[in-house]
A and B are shown apart, each in its own frame.
Chain A
Amino acid sequence: MTRAAFTAALAAALALALAFLVLPVVAIFADTSPGRLVSSLDNPVAADALWLSVRTTLTALAVMVVVGTPAAYLLATRRFPGRALAVTALELPLVLPPAVAGIGLLAAFGPRGILGEALASAGVRLPLTTTAVVLALCFVASPFYVRQAQAAFAALDPSLVEASRTLGASEARTFARVAVPVCLPGLAAGTGLAFGRALGEFGATLMFAGSLQGVSQTLPLAIYASFATDFPAALAMSALLVVVSGALLAALRIGGARWAGPTGAVRLGDDARAARAQTAQPA
């Protein structure tokens, strides 16, 4: 195949992929005027769903970051028996269908689940609550964060950690003052991916947390519920979700670029920058 023909084939594939991926998104907006989008927020179902989605997603993210960051650090920086198994187990939800996640959460935390009796005796009933939504989001989205965080920590130059130790910092202080700030771009990217996954979560939430306005009916569940009764409202809410997710993606891109900018982390291309700095300031 000639080079030109190959380039044409690549371009055709890209055009096909773009058309396929962009068309449904465009279609959502083609049927939704901006006015309709704004007025959909007056609809209590949409407003409650948006607010609930934001609340539960942020709570789930906080839990993921607080627990997932140290866990990822351990996995990335230590070798121990069973580590490979732990990594696989943590990534498993990534490939599980949401329905399986829902069943699994019920089987674990439901009244008939493994922990059901213990939870009941503690007076805790999880299914069909907002807490259940947060648990479902954590379950499906945290692998995205942990994976990314682990990769970021694994790429951390070990001599930075060692330099911190020789400068009198304990392992814990080194983690907080060097590892986390240096890996922040990677951690932010992981947070973004997890946020996206959590915001769009549907199946596991429906199965484990049910669907109730203001309690467990997140934006995707509200879209599904309105789909049959009020299609224009469903469209408006879908558009809302696209806007929120798109804004998030853009913020991540811009934030990531700024962080890795001239004052940011050392990475590829750094030497060129250093060389420029050198010529700019004669010693």
Chain B
Amino acid sequence: MRRLAAAVALCAALASGCGGSSSAGGPDRIDVAAAASLSDPVTAYARQFGRDHDVEVRVRFGGSDELAAQIRQGVPADVFLSADAVLPAELARAGLLDRPEPFASNRLAIAADPAGPVRSLPDLARPGVVVALGSDGVPVGKYARHAIARLPQPQRVALLRNVKSSEPDVKGVLAKVVSGAADAGIVYVTDARAARAEVHTVALPRSLQPAIRYDAGVAVGASPAGLARRFVEGLRSGAGAHYLRAAGFGPVP
């Protein structure tokens, strides 16, 4: 019986341990939910911020829409870094985020298979070309569809016919190109740059570029709220901004 009691105690301890890790950061931890496109600079920035402020920064990356949905379902995050302004605004209206503000901008580019048939924008609409986009729920997909919507109608229809996958996030789009499953995809310039060893980047003309704004918000009830706010501040004008520029992100528009 004593052994059973010990087992029960162990289970309880494990359960409380698990519980601890899934609640928002305690006094010495901040939980950050960040758009997948931010993974490289934000990872680097979080490491430095943690060292400088003697705090543990935990970042999880995903499609912005998915992260927002998780926050809406009550999965805790102290800071939300979105690849658009719409999702943070929605969360703010729902009383979940405190005054989101922009911290970076980005542009779209075509990531093409270096061995594939795509060398220019018109190539995307050629018959037989396989194109991957983000799904229309995820910012990179919305932006790409905005850009495509500005093309002349025949080209637009032909291109959309070539879309063979709607990926749940930008990394998925890139992965389809890198693996050769797709000939090209529309991604952020920053992702194309990070994968430049694997993909050929084709710039999109300025006339097609949508305004891509990254907004950051601190969760209502975040703790420690001061540190979370300072983390966002650093992205706007501190060490974080430095990492973002280095990765190809633009300044706040």
Shortest beta-carbon distance from B5 to chain A in Å: 10
Q: Which chain A positions have C-beta within 8 A of B182?
A: 127-128, 210
Kindly state the separation between the CA atoms of A231 and B166 in the bound complex, as whole angstroms. 18
Q: Which chain B positions have C-beta within 8 A of A127?
A: 130, 176, 179-182
Question: In the complex, are the beta carbons of A228 and B180 less than 8 A apart?
Answer: no
How would residues 60 to 87 of chain B score, 1 for a CB under 8 Å from any chain A CB and 0 otherwise? 0001011011001100000000000000
How would residues 101 to 118 of chain A score, 1 for a CB under 8 Å from any chain B CB and 0 otherwise? 000001000111100100
Question: In the complex, are the beta carbons of B172 and A128 less than 8 A apart?
Answer: no
Instruction: Tell me, yes or no, whether A217 is within 8 Å of chain B by CB.
Output: yes
Question: In the complex, are the beta carbons of B135 and A211 less than 8 A apart?
Answer: yes
Question: In the complex, are the beta carbons of B69 and A228 less than 8 A apart?
Answer: yes
Question: In the complex, are the beta carbons of B166 and A225 less than 8 A apart?
Answer: yes
Q: Which chain A positions have C-beta within 8 A of B66?
A: 227-228
Q: In A1-56, which residues have CB < 8 Å from any B CB?
A: 1, 5, 9
Instruction: Tell me, yes or no, whether A199 is within 8 Å of chain B by CB.
Output: no
B135's partner among A112, A216, A225 (CB-CB below 8 A) is: A225
Shortest beta-carbon distance from A210 to chain B in Å: 3
Kindly state the separation between the CA atoms of A241 and B64 in the bound complex, as whole angstroms. 26
- Select the residue from A9, A208, A229 with max chain B CB neighbours within 10 A: A229
Kindly state the separation between the CA atoms of A129 and B1 in the bound complex, as whole angstroms. 58
Q: In B139-184, which residues have CB < 8 Å from any A CB?
A: 163-168, 172, 175-176, 179-182
Question: In the complex, are the beta carbons of A213 and B181 less than 8 A apart?
Answer: no
- The closest CB in chain B to the CB of A107 belongs to B179
Question: In the complex, are the beta carbons of A5 and B168 less than 8 A apart?
Answer: no
| CB contact under 8 A between A207 and B1, given known A125-B130, A228-B65, A231-B69 | no
Q: How many residues of A contact B (CB 8 A)?
A: 31
B168's partner among A1, A111, A225 (CB-CB below 8 A) is: A225
| CB contact under 8 A between A211 and B1, given known A206-B172, A228-B65, A231-B72 | no
Please list 23 pairs of residues, one from A and one from B, whose beta carbons are closer than 8 Å in the complex, sorted by A's number. A106-B179, A112-B179, A113-B180, A127-B179, A127-B180, A127-B181, A127-B182, A128-B130, A128-B132, A128-B164, A128-B182, A129-B164, A206-B172, A210-B132, A210-B166, A210-B167, A212-B166, A213-B166, A224-B168, A225-B135, A225-B137, A228-B63, A229-B136
How would residues 123 to 136 of chain B score, 1 for a CB under 8 Å from any chain A CB and 0 otherwise? 00000001010011
Q: What is the total of A-B residue contacts with beta carbons within 8 Å?
A: 80
| CB contact under 8 A between A106 and B72, given known A128-B165, A128-B176, A207-B175 | no
| CB contact under 8 A between A212 and B65, given known A106-B181, A111-B181, A229-B137 | no
How would residues 213 to 232 of chain A score, 1 for a CB under 8 Å from any chain B CB and 0 otherwise? 10111000000111111010
Shortest beta-carbon distance from A115 to chain B in Å: 12
Bin chain B's interface residue count. Answer: 20 to 34
- The closest CB in chain A to the CB of B1 belongs to A1
Q: Which chain A positions have C-beta within 8 A of B219?
A: none
Instruction: Tell me, yes or no, whether B57 is within 8 Å of chain A by CB.
Output: no
Shortest beta-carbon distance from B84 to chain A in Å: 12
Which B residues contact A (CB, under 8 angstroms)?
1, 4, 63, 65-66, 68-69, 72-73, 130, 132, 135-138, 163-168, 172, 175-176, 179-182
Q: Which chain A positions have C-beta within 8 A of B130?
A: 125, 127-128
Question: In the complex, are the beta carbons of B163 and A212 less than 8 A apart?
Answer: yes
- Select the residue from B135, B168, B175 with max chain A CB neighbours within 10 A: B135
Shortest beta-carbon distance from A282 to chain B in Å: 56
Question: In the complex, are the beta carbons of B165 and A212 less than 8 A apart?
Answer: yes
Q: Which chain A positions have C-beta within 8 A of B135?
A: 211, 225
Kindly state the separation between the CA atoms of A212 and B130 in the bound complex, as whole angstroms. 12
Q: Which chain B positions have C-beta within 8 A of A206?
A: 167-168, 172
**Nearest 6 A-B pairs (CB), nearest first?**
A210-B165, A127-B181, A228-B65, A111-B180, A229-B137, A128-B164
Kindly state the separation between the CA atoms of A129 and B176 in the bound complex, as whole angstroms. 13
Q: Which chain A positions have C-beta within 8 A of B138?
A: 228
Kindly state the separation between the CA atoms of A217 and B135 in the bound complex, as whole angstroms. 11
Q: Which chain A positions have C-beta within 8 A of B165?
A: 128, 209-212, 216
Q: Which chain B positions have C-beta within 8 A of A224?
A: 168
